[in-house]
Chain A
C-alpha cells in the first residue's frame, strides 16, 4: 500500500473525531493528532480500533503510545500492513 493511500485513509478515520476542522485543510504528516487536530484524548481508543479494522492490523498499546502525529500513524501502519 502506498504512503499517500494510507495517509488519506488515516485522515478519513480521524475526521469524525477532529474538533478543529480548519486544521484538516492543511493536514500533513507532521500534524499533531491532539495538539493540532484537537482530537479529544478520550476518543483515541476509538481511533486505534478504527485503524485496526480498516487496515486489518493489530495496534498494541506500546505501538499506539508512539503515535503523536498523522505521520506516526502512517509509518506504524506501513510497518504492519
Chain B
C-alpha cells in the first residue's frame, strides 16, 4: 500500500495556548482519560503532542476517505507515541518535540517519508509550500521552481478545500504531501507513492 501522510505542528510559545494544559474543559475535550493520566511532568508539551498527533492522524484518515469528524477523543494516541488508533484503523506515528514546538507525523503504509519543521516569518501558508517544494525537489529530481502545491475546492471539507497535492510542472507528482503551520513554524511531511 502506498504511504499516506498527515502532519501537524504546534508552536508551544504562543501565549494563547499557555494555560490550556491547566484548563479541565480543554484537556477533557481533547484527551481520553488514559491519555490525560499520561500528561505527567511536562503536561503542556504532552498535551500538545497528543493534540498534534490527533490532528496529523485526522488528515490521514480524511485522505483515506474516512470522516473522523470533530472528535479528538475518538483518535487515541498510544503511550509510546508510536501509533494512533481510530476505531479499527491503526496509523503509525512519529513525534519530534522540543521546548518550543511539537511536530507530529502520522502515516499508513510501508513507504518511507520525509518531514521537516522550520521557523518562518512571512505568509505561513506560502512559506510552508515553499519549504515543502525546496525539501522534496532533490528527491523528485526536479527544480523547486517546477514544483507547486494545489488544493482543489471541496465543499464537503471543513475548510472548503481538499488536501494539498504536489504538482511537477503542473502534473501530479508521485508523492503524498501534508502541510501545517502554527505560530512561528511551518512544517511538512511527504512520501513517495507507489505506482
Interface residues of A (CB under 8 A from B): 16, 32, 34-35, 40-46, 48-49, 52, 61-62, 64-65, 68
Q: Is the interface of A mostly helix, strand, loop or mixed?
A: helix
Which A residues touch B70, using CB under 8 A? 44, 48, 61-62, 64-65
A63 to chain B, nearest CB (A): 9
Which B residues touch A52, using CB under 8 A? 25
Query: A49 with B25: in contact, given A65-B69, A65-B71 (CB under 8 Å)?
Result: yes
Q: Which of A41, A42, A61 contacts B69 (CB 8 A)?
A: A61
Q: Can you list 10 A-B contacts (CB < 8 A)? A: A34-B158, A34-B160, A41-B159, A42-B51, A45-B29, A49-B25, A49-B29, A61-B70, A61-B73, A65-B71
Interface residues of B (CB under 8 A from A): 8, 10, 16, 23, 25-26, 29-30, 51, 55, 69-74, 158-161, 182
Query: A45 with B30: in contact, given A34-B159, A34-B160, A68-B158 (CB under 8 Å)?
Result: yes
B175 to chain A, nearest CB (A): 23
B138 to chain A, nearest CB (A): 30
Q: Is A61 a contact of B71 with CB atoms below 8 Å?
A: yes
Q: How far is the CA of A18 from the CA of B192 in the complex (A)?
A: 35
Q: Is A45 a contact of B72 with CB atoms below 8 Å?
A: yes
Q: Is B26 a contact of A42 with CB atoms below 8 Å?
A: no
Q: Is A42 a contact of B182 with CB atoms below 8 Å?
A: yes
Residue of A nearest to B9 (CB): A42
Q: How far is the CA of A52 from the CA of B69 in the complex (A)?
A: 19
Q: Is A42 a contact of B160 with CB atoms below 8 Å?
A: no
Kindly name the residue among B23, B30, B158, B160 whose own CB sees the greatest number of chain A CB atoms within 10 A: B158
Q: How far is the CA of A43 from the CA of B15 in the complex (A)?
A: 13
Q: Is B182 a contact of A40 with CB atoms below 8 Å?
A: yes
Q: How far is the CA of A61 from the CA of B29 in the complex (A)?
A: 9
Q: Is A48 a contact of B29 with CB atoms below 8 Å?
A: yes
Rank and list the top 9 A-B pairs by shortest CB-CB distance, nearest first: A35-B160, A34-B159, A65-B69, A64-B70, A65-B70, A61-B71, A49-B25, A35-B159, A61-B70
Query: A41 with B26: in contact, given A61-B70, A62-B69, A64-B70 (CB under 8 Å)?
Result: no
Which B residues touch A40, using CB under 8 A? 182
Q: Which of B10, B71, B73, B158 contacts A42 (CB 8 A)?
A: B10
Which A residues touch B161, using CB under 8 A? 35
Query: A41 with B158: in contact, given A46-B26, A49-B25 (CB under 8 Å)?
Result: yes
A59 to chain B, nearest CB (A): 9
